[in-house]
Structure 1
């Protein structure tokens, strides 16, 4: 009885199938104008290629009994590929449940075999390609042509680029980058001027954040790219679980929030409908639908005599776009977005604080029972500074996406408390970065005034330890580049959040920002290492190209859907390739960091090497003439009872150094002292020579000891 419907449905799967041997619908939405007398609550259709059978589960309600005609329209990549109109009461297309449509509730589920004449029309590529763009629309009309119901659904074969493994691999790459960065920092031992390898942890996270933000524009993405960009949501703090979302819903409900159509429970049972008509189902009822689609005999009912007609099985269609569409695919309600990121940030900060304090306790316990490495002494004494710098680095890492979510919350949030937290935290983070910028700028002004350059930023140990997180990878002449980097992150977040709903404005704004940053990098090439310059320039080039590709997706330009899909595939290939390259370069640069001397340290050693000969020459000039010995005849003049002469240094000389007002007099006095000293040395001098210690740098004139003490009164 369902032969015609099944056949037409199988055709609808043709353009939208994604990849395996099973094609099935993926959610549905009501596309009527709100005046429908027939409402469909649930539609699940699945086709198995191996058996040529289709399984279906349909339920709905009708306000009255009426005869209808049905029209099926199938589109693929924006092109209508099939259209068929049929009468459910016609003998050739008989459908008992729709002839006529009963008053009240109705439901049907079961299996039917599809004729090969229809299944052969489905190309093999439909079972192997992920995330194909397409939809099937079923319209029920009254005999007079009035539209009674409209249902639209996408289909899938279960193959998609949105898989947990991609997120896990991306997280593993980020973890590896963090580990390599820590190893590199340990290898340099915090020496002033030492830089970390590039790309490091920050570059990797910023790259992942960029790919996630590329999926937040208010444009009709190809399904394949929309699914791909979701894999990197974790890098922006979008990590969701039921308990967290329910807690945020409770918080919002007590602070002015409306949970009617903006809550976790509502979202998990909704079908997301994008502007191009594609649908995504976020409900956890996928398992329930899978069970209901097991092979079984037809079991129909009228007037709701089976559980399938229960309202719990119905789903709501939810129109989304832009940032809302991105976060709600991850089962995070639009109004919960900021609070989710805030709580994840708080958890990470708590882990950092507890970890540092715990390590401090371990070091203290270690010091009681043994001696720990000297390299850990600085951490033991300055763990508070390490903690503050780590949190500041985290703020720097998230500043761009934090700006995005805070502005988005202020524009779309419904809880006054959440809006207050968004404004306060954005102001606090901006103030922290502005404070460090001001401090570094003040230090630079003082250094230029006193020394004429900013070398002390890299050579002074205390200054380096305080501010290195902002400029450690930059050349000395480009220490200031962290300032445009902060502005760049802030501008990206502002444009994306403030332009939400206006895809063309967002994309052009992002393109300008990315292009300006690329020009800055090409002009300055600010990184210490050539590899760092090339890697970051390549990353920025790919960012610019990514935004250009997103410009192809903009609806106002009217570019064909097939072109958009091809562009999406190319974009995925480029971004995935660069991600793999970054993963390999992380380890290559770590080896370079460990084996190749840092350029700052190399310059410092060269300066010390040139300084050493000068110091040796000065020391030679200050060395007294060596003792040549004395005639033997003078030895008898020495009195054994004569006390040795021990000069007492003048306090003024000891404090302020020798005076050089009259060089000629000083030479004469020294010469006289040397002549009178022939054969008679003080005890202190004899001891110093016996010990092998050098003579004091500040020498004083002495009177010669001629042994006349015995003739005194």
Structure 2
């Protein structure tokens, strides 16, 4: 059976590009012809081939540039997932390909339809039309058959094939975004209803899930060679980095860049005349091809072009070859797949983060107004959401801090990357402002949490006391520590450092995929070890949830290292590992989503959501007010409110930002003014009888049973958990109820 050039073309397109459910008709297509040899004498600025098996026709639209002259033969190899299953030699003279027998130098425009024989169509397996993001390609070596270079390869081209089917689906993006968003909103509502324990669990799991989505997106932002299915899968989570395309906004960003002295890229405006190679091989080879293509030009042209390319093309990642086609990789690859010009990517992420902050602030203010109206109209009891209504500004500050924490990985990557791009002077200024603003804000917040916790340890031998008993501290700074156990309040510092270093690897090493992979491997290994050894989250279930995420992120970093091909593994191994990564993460993400959905539903349909969760070991619920314990007002409730200094459901008038660290209630602050704290930590020098720090949700006596009444000459226990009787007395009379369960008795 004679082999025509249409057979490898059709087989290539069918085996390499896999599935998009939007097409009702089977197709196989390729949109770029990539050079696979350093000194390739045949390239194409435009390459579009669409094969329709239904009518056995392939439409070919090519604008090729050739520097090869003479008779040649084509060595055609077709592979799927790195496994080569077809290899043929095609003589263009025997199959009657005009312009290729003999091959002539110059520009060769071709636009025609090819009839593909029935026998060739039957060789294409049906799975090639349906399997998503199939990693298949056809590679053609052009070999000379005459002259002194007979038998030598003078050119190599490679085409990736797609059938339009992909795992990069709009439905997946919406589903993941809605579930994560609703979980965060639900935790806020449940917290407002007074179920602090349940709200903390839902919020912690939602934040961890969101962080996992961002970790998936970061894989796609690396400059490492990624198999098609991995590129498509990671694209599903780029919304978590603010990479969302809206047409009119892109026009605004382009105008803004021009107005501030920048030069926007125009890849999408030239797609009808040039091809874009979505880089999957080592980036250094592409850079080398682009540089060597300039060497073929006259010196008077190549030198200024080289400077332009170095300044505008290589820096921007939009490398343009001598044939006119573009090569995108890393962050630019993600932007291109999202339909965003690479020069608009920074502004896209920045504006969506700002819109999230603005819309959230407006929603909180509107909710506050609705609640006040509902109370005045007597649509709901006056004590519902009382703490939120009286201290909603402090709650809003805490929500904005939480949004800053969520957007920190996104904005650090985009801002640091903008420093390498310099799209315009104004955008660089914005990058500086947002990067340092967020770093300083979160750094200051982490510092305040540490200072509050240390003060609480000094006064009460327990960091949980002030961190969770003070409503203003909890509402404003709680976003940094509620997901951790009280004794691990400091863990937010390594979390922020981890995110910042990871962003540096992504932004500054775009053309060094191996460096990025090694950095990811070290960071994820450190994160997994820290999570497994320290187990800093609030309880066993939350620790298991987060350790599982850290473990999968570490596995993904190993896969990323394999994709760099530093191990020189067979291409088949790389292709199979890509499929394994997709399947593993898809199953894992589905399990996490279902767990979060179920836990959130239970919170709303259980009469006592807090009862579903085990009391946390740090005894934080003993210090927090819970609506489930405030069903009836008793004298003990009034005593507890007086001890905390609460007024009307919210304790106002505190200055948590004061350098004097006045972080407790007014009554406790007044008492501590007369304290003398010796080096051994004991508290002496009370000027008045201390008030009992009782809480409606906390027993008046330690949990190990009632103690015998004190004798007349025995001083009452200090409300701060400190004792004046030394270690011996403490050992004889049990540890302080405030200290027990805070991580010190482990």
Asked if these proteins are the same fold (TM beyond 0.5), I'd say: yes
Is 1:596 aligned with 2:612?
A: yes
Deviation at 1:348, TM superposition (A): 1.1
CA distance change for structure 1 residues 245 and 264 in 2, over 3 Å: closer, same or farther? farther
- 1:169-191 CA-partner distances (Å, limit 9, x unpaired): 22233234234423442443558
Return the match for 2:246 from 210, 223, 241.
241
Look up the match of 1:677.
Answer: none
Is 1:342 aligned with 2:350?
A: yes
Return the match for 1:114 from 114, 117, 125.
117
Whole-angstrom CA distance in 1 between matches of 2:610 and 2:698: 22
Deviation at 1:509, TM superposition (A): 1.3
- 1:451-486 CA-partner distances (Å, limit 9, x unpaired): 333222122333323321111122221122222211
Return the match for 1:527 from 513, 529, 537.
537
Deviation at 1:78, TM superposition (A): 4.3
Contact 1:22 1:46 in 2 (8 A): no
Look up the match of 1:56.
Answer: 59
Deviation at 1:105, TM superposition (A): 7.1
Is 1:252 aligned with 2:254?
A: no
Look up the match of 1:506.
Answer: 516
Whole-angstrom CA distance in 2 between matches of 1:556 and 1:520: 28
Deviation at 1:589, TM superposition (A): 3.3
The 5-angstrom pairing of residues 549-560 of structure 1 reads: 549-560=559-570
Is 1:162 aligned with 2:253?
A: no
- 1:108-145 CA-partner distances (Å, limit 9, x unpaired): 333514141x3343334434432222323457788767
Return the match for 1:567 from 558, 571, 577.
577
Contact 1:267 1:333 in 2 (8 A): no
Whole-angstrom CA distance in 1 between matches of 2:376 and 2:10: 76
**Unaligned stretches of 5+ in structure 1?**
279-314, 622-713
- The structure having more radius of gyration, on CA atoms, is 1
Return the match for 1:608 from 680, 685, 699.
699
Whole-angstrom CA distance in 2 between matches of 1:434 and 1:383: 24
- 1:281-330 CA-partner distances (Å, limit 9, x unpaired): xxxxxxxxxxxxxxxxxxxxxxxxxxxxxxxxxx9522222222223221
Look up the match of 1:272.
Answer: 277
Whole-angstrom CA distance in 1 between matches of 2:89 and 2:469: 80
Deviation at 1:343, TM superposition (A): 0.7
Is 1:537 aligned with 2:537?
A: no
Whole-angstrom CA distance in 2 between matches of 1:148 and 1:614: 91
Look up the match of 1:300.
Answer: none
Contact 2:346 2:415 in 1 (8 A): yes
SS of the residue corresponding to residue 131 of structure 2 reads coil
Whole-angstrom CA distance in 1 between matches of 2:41 and 2:563: 36
Contact 2:48 2:62 in 1 (8 A): no
Whole-angstrom CA distance in 2 between matches of 1:74 and 1:100: 22
Whole-angstrom CA distance in 2 between matches of 1:588 and 1:38: 57
Whole-angstrom CA distance in 2 between matches of 1:97 and 1:367: 83
Look up the match of 2:137.
Answer: 135
The 5-angstrom pairing of residues 200-219 of structure 1 reads: 200-219=205-224
How large is the RMSD of aligned CA atoms in angstroms? 3.9
Indicate the structure with greater helix content. Answer: 1
CA distance change for structure 1 residues 316 and 238 in 2, over 3 Å: closer, same or farther? farther
Deviation at 1:347, TM superposition (A): 1.2
Whole-angstrom CA distance in 2 between matches of 1:36 and 1:509: 34
Return the match for 1:435 from 441, 444, 454.
444
Look up the match of 2:178.
Answer: 172
CA distance change for structure 1 residues 155 and 243 in 2, over 3 Å: closer, same or farther? same
Whole-angstrom CA distance in 2 between matches of 1:366 and 1:428: 38
Deviation at 1:534, TM superposition (A): 0.9
Contact 2:417 2:507 in 1 (8 A): yes
Look up the match of 2:681.
Answer: none
Deviation at 1:240, TM superposition (A): 1.3
Look up the match of 2:419.
Answer: 410
Whole-angstrom CA distance in 2 between matches of 1:586 and 1:321: 34
Contact 1:45 1:54 in 2 (8 A): no
Return the match for 2:589 from 558, 579, 594.
579
SS of the residue corresponding to residue 610 of structure 1 reads coil
Look up the match of 2:556.
Answer: 546
- 1:9-63 CA-partner distances (Å, limit 9, x unpaired): 2343465253698342221136399999987564433334455x12213343789
Whole-angstrom CA distance in 2 between matches of 1:529 and 1:61: 63
Look up the match of 1:126.
Answer: 128
SS of the residue corresponding to residue 31 of structure 2 reads strand
Look up the match of 1:320.
Answer: 328
CA distance change for structure 1 residues 6 and 465 in 2, over 3 Å: closer, same or farther? closer
The 5-angstrom pairing of residues 26-45 of structure 1 reads: 26-29=30-33, 31=35, 40=44, 42-45=46-49
Whole-angstrom CA distance in 2 between matches of 1:536 and 1:247: 40
Contact 2:29 2:162 in 1 (8 A): yes
